[in-house]
Amino acid sequence: MMEAILALGIGVLAGSGVWLLLRPRTFQVIVGLSLIAYAVNLFIFSMGGLRSGAPPILHARTAGDAAQYADPLPQALVLTAIVIGFATTALFLVVVLASRGLTGTDHVDGRERES
Amino acid sequence: MRLLVCIAFAAALGSLYAGGFVPGRLAPTGFDPAFALVWAIGIVCAVGAAYQAKFHRLASLILLAGAGLVTCVTFVWMSAPDLALTQLVVDTVTTVLLLLGLRWLPKRIEDPDARASFGRAFRPRRLVDLAIAIAAGAGLSALAYVAMTQPVPDSISRYFVEHAYTKGGGTNIVNVILVDFRGFDTFGEITVLGVVALAVYALLRRFRPAPESVDIPEQQRVQDAFDDADPDRRRGDSIAHSMMTPALIMRLLFPAIGMFAVFLLLRGHDLPGGGFVAGLTMAVAFILQYMAGGTTWVEARLRVLPVRWMGLGLSVAALTGAGAWFFLHPFLTSHFFYLELPLIGAVPFATALLFDIGVFLLVVGATVLILIALGHQSVRAQRAALLRTPEPAAQAIAKQ
């Protein structure tokens, strides 16, 4: 049941993100990418299986038994992904601001649609 | 963009079809209403952020942070304390970053008349986009459900769990993977972070804001007018008075947050924490000073040299890695490295800690550099504007 809830949540995050990604304004795209980043991070994280109350921290200073702990590998991958996500958001935001200064619009194409 | 999204979706659908859509037989976990409630909030936040992103950017940003918080709670729930910590601090920093950026985007006010005609013209396009978005969301949902209910295959994780202490010398397996087993990855990653920070800095050095957003923001004008009207007040008094208590608290918090960051750094190898989250926490401490005192106040009293922090961090990490060469081992770490290097006493003072300190320094430097560079634009753009229009500027300066 927990899996279904989380899967639904991931789906909604990703769906909202994709919708925003297809919008014409740059700020919408930034928010959309952040939402997709959440969804993808949760998705990768959930690949290790959901377990509560079993953080991957060894109880004793010996070799651990893999069955006792949540899967540490997806967690390590997602941890770096979160930090890199911040860096890309920052870079994207600054590129957006620079493009806005140069073109005078916040449209993703750099010019307003003629219509 | 639509084409890209559709191709990605088709590729995912293709592989799902090839693999067969079979929900796993794993015994389902129990239903927890609290978890459902948390995700109900998360879903509302995500949809709300999507809905508000065009006209109410601030609301959208707050809702985005709400979705991030729900993600964070999920990490705590599903036994990933390290991720939750990092997510929490990264969310804080991202929100500050986007708030700083908001100032330079054009105002966009909802206009009911324009909305009606606009809606008709673009309805087909919006409907197609909506369909794509719903399909993508539903597809990822299904994929995630199927993947989560499969029994977890026996992966290399077993190796990490079994050898985290015997070969890496730490009990926090996630941190040991990051700074030891996969140290070279992390080294590459902090390099990327440093490069991004420098790119942001360089881009902002030549930043030309759009003409209409150079002006002093409306709120500040209102405050200035209020201060000018009253002979007893000087410009900037309003903001100084309303910020007095928070500013005092923020200043007092600086050493506390700094100590907490070091604490997170030092315990990282054995308990939740580590270089990344510690570095971000330290960066938050610096940013709070900027919020409390203003750019000029802080820089008159505190010399933050983020580029040096970054350089130092990368050097520490690289030298730690190169140190392995003196023991005739490959760069950074292979797991054999720790077998022969003695651990000092019962304390797992592995060279991984030095590496983590390098990560810490670089993350502090990069984050602070990005945020400060963006924050400086407000000060710089107005100065540039004053230089461009000397007449009124001279009067304004004379008045101050």
B24-42, pLDDT tens digit by residue? Answer: 555 556 677 788 888 888 8
Helix residue ranges per DSSP H, chain B: 2-19, 33-52, 57-77, 81-102, 112-149, 157-168, 173-176, 183-205, 218-229, 237-242, 244-267, 275-293, 295-301, 306-326, 336-340, 351-388, 390-399
Higher-pLDDT residue of B35 and B327 is B35
Query: How many domains are contained in chain B?
Result: 1
Q: Return the pLDDT at B23.
A: 60
Listed by start position, the domains of chain A span: 2-50+69-103
Band the pLDDT of B341: cuts 50, 70, 90: very low
Sole residue written with tokens 């967690």: A75
Please report whether residue B336 resides in a domain: yes
Please report whether residue B96 resides in a domain: no
Cβ pair A90:B196 closer than 8 A: yes
CA atoms within 13 A on the CB side of B64: 34
Q: What is the mean pLDDT of residues B38-55?
A: 83
Read off the DSSP letter of residue B243. Answer: T
Sole residue written with tokens 């002093």: B216
Cβ pair A15:B133 closer than 8 A: yes
| Rounded alpha-carbon distances, angstroms, from residue B329 to B168, B180, B310, B325, B350 | 15, 14, 26, 5, 15
| Residues B357-373 pLDDT 10s | 888 888 888 888 888 88
Backbone φ and ψ for B250, nearest 5 degrees, come out as -60, -40
Please state, in angstroms and rounded to a whole number, the distance separating the CA atoms of residues B245 and B13: 55
Higher-pLDDT residue of A57 and B195 is B195
Name the amino acid, one letter, at B318: A
| Residues B202-259 pLDDT 10s | 888 777 666 666 666 677 777 777 777 777 777 667 777 777 787 888 888 888 888 8
Cβ pair B165:A61 closer than 8 A: yes
Q: Which domain holds residue B308?
A: 157-400
Fold of the domain spanning A2-50+69-103: Helix Hairpins (1.10.287)
| Rounded alpha-carbon distances, angstroms, from residue B132 to A16, B16, B19, B125, B353 | 10, 17, 23, 11, 47
**Which residues from chain B sit within 8 angstroms of residue A51, using beta carbons?**
78-79
Q: How far is B241 from chain A (nearest CA, A)?
A: 32
| Residues B150-172 pLDDT 10s | 776 667 777 777 776 666 667 77
**Which residues from chain A sit within 8 angstroms of residue B132, using beta carbons?**
18-19, 22
Can you say how many angstroms the Cα of residue B127 is from the centroid of all Cα atoms in its chain? Answer: 32
Cβ pair A52:B374 closer than 8 A: no
Cβ atoms B289, B299 nearer than 8 A: no
Please state, in angstroms and rounded to a whole number, the distance separating the CA atoms of residues B389 and B400: 17
Chain B residue closest to A1 (CA)?
B31
Sole residue written with tokens 């050493």: B255
Cβ atoms B331, B322 nearer than 8 A: yes
Cβ pair A80:B189 closer than 8 A: yes
CA nearest to B270, candidates B210, B339, B346, B202: B346
Name the amino acid, one letter, at B86: T
Q: How many CB atoms lie within 10 A of CB A24?
A: 17
As a whole number of Å, the end-to-end CA separation of chain B is 50
The CA R_g of chain A, rounded to the nearest whole Å, is 19
Q: Report CA torsion sign: B222, B93, B62, B107.
A: positive
Please report whether residue B71 resides in a domain: no
Please state, in angstroms and rounded to a whole number, the distance separating the CA atoms of residues B354 and B340: 17
- Per the structure block, which two tokens stand in for A9? 């949540």
Q: How far is B191 from chain A (nearest CA, A)?
A: 11
Q: Is the pLDDT of residue A40 over 70?
A: yes
Cβ atoms B178, B74 nearer than 8 A: no
Please report whether residue B125 resides in a domain: no
Cβ atoms A76, B86 nearer than 8 A: no
Q: How far is B129 from chain A (nearest CA, A)?
A: 6
**Element containing residue B151 per DSSP (H, E):** none
- The mean predicted confidence, pLDDT, of chain B is 75
- Per the structure block, which two tokens stand in for B20? 């067969």
Please state, in angstroms and rounded to a whole number, the distance separating the CA atoms of residues A38 and B68: 7
Please state, in angstroms and rounded to a whole number, the distance separating the CA atoms of residues A21 and B1: 8
Please state, in angstroms and rounded to a whole number, the distance separating the CA atoms of residues B104 and B209: 7
Please report whether residue B309 resides in a domain: yes
- Per the structure block, which two tokens stand in for A26? 């740059």
Percent of chain B's residues with pLDDT above 70:
71
Helix residue ranges per DSSP H, chain A: 2-21, 26-46, 72-103
The CA R_g of chain B, rounded to the nearest whole Å, is 26
Q: Which of A93, A102, A108 sits opposite B101 (nearest CB)?
A: A93
ipTM of this complex prediction, to 2 decimal places = 0.86
Please state, in angstroms and rounded to a whole number, the distance separating the CA atoms of residues B246 and B227: 21
Cβ pair A45:B141 closer than 8 A: no
Please state, in angstroms and rounded to a whole number, the distance separating the CA atoms of residues B327 and B318: 15
Q: How many CB atoms lie within 10 A of CB B42?
A: 27
